[in-house]
């Protein structure tokens, strides 16, 4: 692919021809897991009230030839199915391991191993203190498991392989609150995670965080030729998706990003946001930010909550500051819509 055809060059051309992004104008201005159909009822008062300004997302947003749309994944939270047992709230989820061919771009397809037919897997969400119950069925053709980060008994640690055609139940208390993850823990773990068997688990604090436009960004890598190196990278499963389809947000609206690095093989990456600063809540385990920056370094499985607002309208990039990773798919943009 020539430089003129690269996503970065296409963004630069859009910058050149978009009058909202010209310096003169800038100076002038100064998200299908189980239970989604009942998510509103299930969450009740636990979910922040839906008063954040969020641009509408088309139900038929582009899939790039896949069975899921990263634009839908962005703000898609699976709150499970709620039950009351012995006076406590139980949230039940269902995960099925399987195989799906991902279309990474027009030229490259990839045989993924995944949960519920998508990469990344559904973002599971509960409240601190609730009981989480996950029914897992393995239909992936290989032995798989589900290992959750957080507190749980040894029997629920998800390191025991579950053979193809078998299932199990993982049950544990939702703690501690924060941003966590789950993934297959069958050896070689790097291969199983690199093939797509990973997702995010959000445990909300007892009292809701301030209302915000919330979304998830999971960074992943693809070793497309089994040479032990990643050739392509992506936010939420599909390389360059958010460069080709920028994420629309409103000017001055609080944005809360749940960011998780699940890139295997590469030891660490950064996350950089253009023309802005974000407050950092490490692992989401604090209600007060630790610091403010426009770039943060994350090792594999590291995750944070990043909060920010955009002062100006226009298109603004986000990406790792490792150019080889960004230019091979892990790049996106926010399209900030004027509040007036």
CA 337 → CA 108, 152, 256, 311, distances in Å?
Answer: 33, 43, 17, 11
Give me 124's structure tokens.
Answer: 């599971």
- Measured CA to CA, the distance from residue 317 to residue 274 in angstroms comes to 5
* 31 within 8 A of 74, measured Cβ to Cβ: yes
Count structural domains, the chain. 1
Q: Tell me the average confidence (pLDDT) per consecutive run of 10 residues in the chain, 340 residues long.
A: 56 48 36 37 49 92 96 97 96 98 97 98 98 98 98 98 98 98 98 98 97 98 97 98 98 98 97 98 98 98 98 98 97 93
Tell me the HSE value of 113 on the side-chain side, using a 13 A CA sphere: 25
> Domain with 31 in it: what CATH number?
2.60.40.420
Alpha-carbon dihedral of residues 135, 140, 143, 149, nearest 10 degrees?
A: -50
> Which pLDDT belongs to residue 3?
52
Torsion-angle region of 301 (φ positive above 0: left; ψ -120 to 50: alpha; else: beta): left
Sign of torsion, CA 48 51 53 59? Answer: positive
The pLDDT value recorded for residue 41 is 42
Give Cα separations from 311 to 10, 247, 297 (angstroms).
24, 16, 24
φ, ψ for residue 285, nearest 5 deg: -100, 25
pLDDT tens digits, residue range 191-228? 999 999 999 999 999 999 999 999 999 999 999 999 99
Token pair of 20, please?
Answer: 């909202």
> What is the pTM (predicted TM-score) of this model?
0.86
Alpha carbon of 88 to those of 42, 78, 94, 271, 325: distances in Å?
A: 14, 19, 20, 39, 45
332's tokens: 């996106």
Residue 160, both tokens: 């025991």
- Which burial class, exposed, middle or buried, applies to 278 when counting CB atoms under 10 A from its CB (0-12, 13-18, 19+)? buried
Q: What is the spatial distance between Cα 132 and Cα 204, in angstroms, rounded to a whole number? A: 13
- The pLDDT value recorded for residue 7 is 60
| Residue 148 domain boundaries | 3-337
What is the model's pLDDT at position 340?
Answer: 72
Kindly report, residue by residue over 111-121, the tens digit of the pLDDT: 999 999 999 99
pLDDT computed for residue 10 by the predictor: 59
Q: Decide: helix, strand or coil at residue 266.
A: coil
Instruction: Give pLDDT, residue 9.
Output: 59
> How much is the pLDDT for 339?
76
Q: Report yes or no: 214 and 258 within 8 Å, Cβ to Cβ.
A: yes
């Amino acid at each position: 692919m020539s430089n003129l055809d690269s996503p970065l060059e296409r963004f630069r051309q859009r910058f050149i021809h978009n009058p909202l992004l010209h310096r003169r104008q800038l100076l002038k201005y100064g998200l299908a897991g189980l239970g989604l159909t009942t998510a509103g009822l299930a969450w009740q008062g636990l979910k922040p009230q839906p008063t954040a300004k969020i641009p509408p997302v088309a139900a038929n947003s582009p899939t790039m030839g896949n069975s899921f749309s990263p634009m839908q994944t962005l703000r898609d939270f699976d709150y499970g199915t709620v039950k009351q047992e012995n006076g406590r709230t139980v949230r039940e989820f269902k995960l099925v391991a399987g195989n799906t061919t991902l279309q990474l771009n027009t030229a490259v397809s990839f045989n993924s191993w995944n949960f519920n037919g998508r990469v990344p897997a559904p973002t599971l969400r509960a409240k601190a203190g609730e009981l989480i119950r996950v029914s897992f069925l393995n239909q992936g053709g290989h032995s798989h498991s589900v290992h959750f980060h957080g507190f749980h008994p040894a029997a629920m640690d998800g390191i025991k392989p579950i053979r193809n055609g078998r299932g199990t139940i993982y049950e544990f208390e939702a703690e501690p609150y924060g941003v966590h993850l789950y993934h297959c823990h069958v050896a070689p773990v790097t291969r199983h995670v690199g093939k797509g068997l990973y997702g995010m688990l959000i445990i909300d604090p007892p009292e809701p965080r301030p209302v915000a436009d919330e979304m998830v960004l999971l960074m992943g890598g693809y070793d497309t030729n089994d040479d032990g190196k990643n050739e392509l990278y992506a936010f939420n499963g599909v390389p360059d998706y958010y460069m080709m389809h920028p994420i629309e947000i409103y000017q001055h609206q609080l944005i809360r990003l749940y960011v998780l690095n699940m890139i295997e093989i590469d030891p660490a990456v950064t996350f950089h946001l253009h023309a802005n600063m974000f407050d950092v809540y490490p692992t989401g385990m604090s209600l007060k930010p630790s610091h403010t920056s426009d770039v943060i370094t994350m090792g594999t499985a590291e995750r944070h909550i990043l909060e920010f607002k955009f002062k100006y309208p226009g298109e603004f990039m986000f990406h790792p500051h490792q150019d080889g990773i960004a230019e091979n798919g892990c790049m996106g943009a926010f399209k900030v819509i004027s509040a007036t």
